[in-house]
Amino acid sequence: MTESITLALQHVRQRLADAERVAGRPAGSAQLLAVSKTFPAADVQQAYLAGQRAFGENYVQELQQKCAELAALDIEWHFIGPLQSNKTRPVAELAHWVHSVERLKIAERLSAQRPEALPPLNVCIQVNVSGEASKSGCAPEQALELARAVAALPRLALRGLMCIPEPTEDAARLAAQFALLRRLQQQLAAEGLALDTLSMGMSADLAVAVAEGATMVRIGTAIFGSRHYH
């Protein structure tokens, strides 16, 4: 299995480089975030040995376990799942990034609970670009107000926007949803909030996301294989 993770990482990096080239973007302008949720610490370690440093987790308990098991490694941990207000403390204490801020209350708790000794916590605002009721994220028309409020909080660094588009193989629909996030980023910049991160794109839609301006793609299945939920 170990060799397959290394080979899969190489393949994904090549896909990412190809997508950047096709989109006319500089090499390395989109960062690879390896989504390791539901996979054991040994798999994370193997990807680390293959050069990967940024890993994404969706579940607070799993983040805590892996941070403890892999404490000796120089890993940049990203929390990318829905976050309940009663579970913010471990994320504020352990994560380097949180991609899934969708309410001011969550940001306020992360801000209050971020240890003074650590650098500011990098955060992205999650936007519901598809309008699906089942999806997390603030409505696009609420993004500016939320971004202003989050940017004003201490111990946080507002870095960008994140989205999860609807599950569809229609590239045009996906592109339109990714483009909506990019336009929001431009709108925030015009209002004085210059954000450098667009967290969008997963294993199936990586190329579409990069073409629309993704700076961070969240890839799990294409690196670690199919997930096994308990």
Dist. CA 39–CA 221, nearest whole Å: 10
> Which tokens in the block code for residue 176?
């339109």
In a domain, 84, yes or no: yes
Q: How confident is the model at residue 230 (pLDDT cuts 50, 70, 90)?
A: low
In a domain, 85, yes or no: yes
Query: Per residue in 51-69, is it b (16+ CB within 10 Å) or e — as a string?
Result: ebebbbbbebebbeebbee
| Averaged pLDDT, 110-133 | 97
In a domain, 229, yes or no: no
Residue 226: predicted pLDDT: 87
Q: For the chain, what is the domain count?
A: 1
In a domain, 169, yes or no: yes
Q: Is residue 225 scored above 60 in pLDDT?
A: yes
Helix or strand or coil: residue 160? strand
Residue 80's CATH number = 3.20.20.10
Q: How confident is the model at residue 227 (pLDDT cuts 50, 70, 90)?
A: confident
Summarised one tens digit per residue, pLDDT across range 176-224 is 999 999 999 999 999 999 999 999 999 999 999 999 999 999 999 999 9
CA distance to 59, 79, 85, 114, 178, per residue, from 34 (Å): 15, 11, 25, 24, 20
In a domain, 230, yes or no: no
Dist. CA 59–CA 36, nearest whole Å: 10
Domain that holds residue 126: 2-224
